[in-house]
Chains A and B, each alone.
Chain A
Amino acid sequence: MHAEVAFGALKDAGLGIEDVDGYFCAGDAPGFGGISMAEYLGLRNLRHIDSTETGGSSYVLHVGHAAEAIAAGKCSVALITLAGAPRAAGLRVLGGGGGRGRGWGDTPEVSFEGPYGPNVLGYYALAARRHMYEFGTTSEQLAWIRVAASKHASHNPYALLRDPVTIEDVLNSPMVADPLHRLDSCVITDGGGAVIVVSPEVARDLERKSVKILGHGEGVKHTNNGRIDLTYTAGVISGKEAFAEAEVTPSDIDYASIYDSFTITVLIQIEDLGFCEKGKGGAFVSDGALESPHGALPFNTDGGGLCNNHPNNRGGMTKVIEAVRQLRGEANAPVQVPDCQLALAHGTGGTIGARHGSATVILGQPDA
């Protein structure tokens, strides 16, 4: 699958395997990561590899790292890939287990967390509960996020869940981890994606329209010596960095891809990125504000991880791809943002309930 998406992206860009001199992958790449993948893909001209792993946000971060590497002269055509098939492998509940050391290796925290059954649903529910407690956020406000995503997915013939849902549908769906409902959760899908980042010189010679990377930021947040604050993410750091580098503000953004493992993930990140004040996310996302093209902040117009696709439980790649589609004017017609000039893609990998890495990129038109 890595090869399918890699070759698809290269063909779309009008490039060949021999042009690739930088390769970026994350934890979904088997074996020795970049080395194993280079062999499988037939990459023979690599002079730069990076397998930074920040979970689902890795591919957003890789776009930033690729831009850095290109600016430093370390490569000129960077390939980033993601692929995996958890659904085919039978996974139906995100992080279904828990228990000693399950999949955590020898991490120092494992014995202090694993035995208490912290699956992904539980971790995100902890964040949701605390946000509700501190700011009065409601399940109905969270449901607005799913409603917007489902409307967008209804225009995407490839989406896993294409039926629009109502607030009541979300609130009446079974609880998976109170206060989160089944419809507050993303889908589990097989799939992948690839992105090519090239130098301005290479881009100039390509027939395919490219978009420009205007800003990038990344950040890490963890349990902070037992003083975890569940109300924010490392998006506070990555967003600030990306906006500063791009020299734009949240109100300038025409379209935003926001990581949506759960509805609460979207809400907290929207606050962290500065689209509204901390604690006001519930009000911000209500009443169709996230719906494209007419909402205040059109988001995840492919239907996102909530309804469309969350390949290999890692949503960062699709976030970048949909932002590029919007800037190229190639999003599904009913949800294309008119005259989309500035797009943001943001990811969070790991869990907001404990430790994670966030990454933000701000993209613009080629002449931006």
Chain B
Amino acid sequence: MPNLPVFAPSPTPESKPFWDATGQGKILLPRCNDCGTVIWYPRTTCPDCMSSDVGWFEASGRGTIYSFAVVRRAGGPWRDALPYVLAYVELEEGPRVLTNIIDGIDLEVGQSVVAVFHDTGEGNALVRFRTA
């Protein structure tokens, strides 16, 4: 499969810890210290219980495919990467995150995947996945 474009994210004060960790090959997830909910995408308040006491913990990097699409038509820089796989991966910790599966298009819902980190050159990395 062709290489996927690597766009750097735009970290905000809310999301900076997440992005800084990706630069070290780690996934940090926010968790509400009051109700225990793992929050996605990162926020400094809990959308389940309105708490502002949100901390970070390191995720395993393992998950399963919740759904995937093999995109065969796209414009811009994605045209050169076709076909590519857009997916929701359900992390072991709960959240379903939008991402890419990088090692093939012959996939199944429920399949196990592990995180890989694509360096953006800006001190952080995009979190994509390959089959386990």
**Which A residues fall within an 8 A CB radius of B?**
93, 96-102, 108-119, 121-123, 125-130, 133, 174-180, 223, 225-228, 230, 354
User: Do B10 and A228 touch (CB < 8 A)?
Assistant: no
Complex interface bits, B23-43 against A, C-beta within 8 A gives 1, otherwise 0: 000000000000001111111
Of listed A114, A116, A174, A180, residue having the most chain B CB within 10 A:
A116
On whether A129 and B71 interact (CB within 8 A), knowing A99-B5, A111-B10, A226-B39, the answer reads no
On whether A112 and B7 interact (CB within 8 A), knowing A99-B78, A178-B69, the answer reads no
Q: Which residues of A contact B10 (CB under 8 A)?
A: 100-101, 110-111
Complex interface bits, B98-113 against A, C-beta within 8 A gives 1, otherwise 0: 1110000100011000
User: Do A100 and B4 touch (CB < 8 A)?
Assistant: no
Of listed B8, B12, B96, residue having the most chain A CB within 10 A:
B96
Tell me the residues in window 32-81 of chain B with beta carbons closer than 8 Å to chain A beta carbons.
37-43, 47-48, 66-78, 81
User: Do A228 and B96 touch (CB < 8 A)?
Assistant: yes
Q: How far is the CB of A221 from chain B (nearest CB, A)?
A: 14
User: Do A122 and B99 touch (CB < 8 A)?
Assistant: no
Q: List 16 A-B contacts (CB under 8 A).
A: A98-B74, A111-B11, A111-B15, A112-B40, A115-B126, A119-B73, A128-B69, A129-B109, A133-B67, A177-B69, A225-B39, A226-B94, A226-B96, A227-B94, A227-B95, A228-B88
**What is the interface of chain B mostly: helix, strand, loop, or mixed?**
loop
User: Do A116 and B8 touch (CB < 8 A)?
Assistant: no
A102, B11: Cα distance in complex, Å: 16
Q: How far is the CB of A211 from chain B (nearest CB, A)?
A: 39
On whether A178 and B70 interact (CB within 8 A), knowing A99-B77, A117-B4, the answer reads yes
Closest 4 CB pairs of A and B: A96-B75, A226-B40, A226-B95, A125-B69
User: Do A118 and B86 touch (CB < 8 A)?
Assistant: yes
User: Do B86 and A122 touch (CB < 8 A)?
Assistant: yes
Query: Number of contact residues on B: which range applies?
Result: 35 or more
Asked if B21 CB lies within 8 Å of chain A CBs, one says no
Closest residue of A by beta carbon distance from B86: A122
Q: Which residues of B contact A111 (CB under 8 A)?
A: 9-12, 15, 19
User: Do A129 and B69 touch (CB < 8 A)?
Assistant: yes
On whether A115 and B41 interact (CB within 8 A), knowing A97-B74, A227-B94, A228-B88, the answer reads no
Q: Which of A115, A175, A178, A223 contacts B9 (CB 8 A)?
A: A115
Q: Which residues of A contact B37 (CB under 8 A)?
A: 225
User: Do A116 and B40 touch (CB < 8 A)?
Assistant: no
Q: How far is the CB of A73 from chain B (nearest CB, A)?
A: 36
On whether A96 and B76 interact (CB within 8 A), knowing A108-B43, A126-B67, A225-B47, the answer reads yes
A79, B45: Cα distance in complex, Å: 40
A122, B85: Cα distance in complex, Å: 9
User: Do A126 and B88 touch (CB < 8 A)?
Assistant: yes
Asked if B97 CB lies within 8 Å of chain A CBs, one says yes
User: Do B109 and A177 touch (CB < 8 A)?
Assistant: no
Q: Which residues of B contact A98 (CB under 8 A)?
A: 74, 76, 78
Asked if B92 CB lies within 8 Å of chain A CBs, one says no
A98, B7: Cα distance in complex, Å: 10
A175, B5: Cα distance in complex, Å: 22
On whether A100 and B88 interact (CB within 8 A), knowing A177-B73, A226-B39, the answer reads no
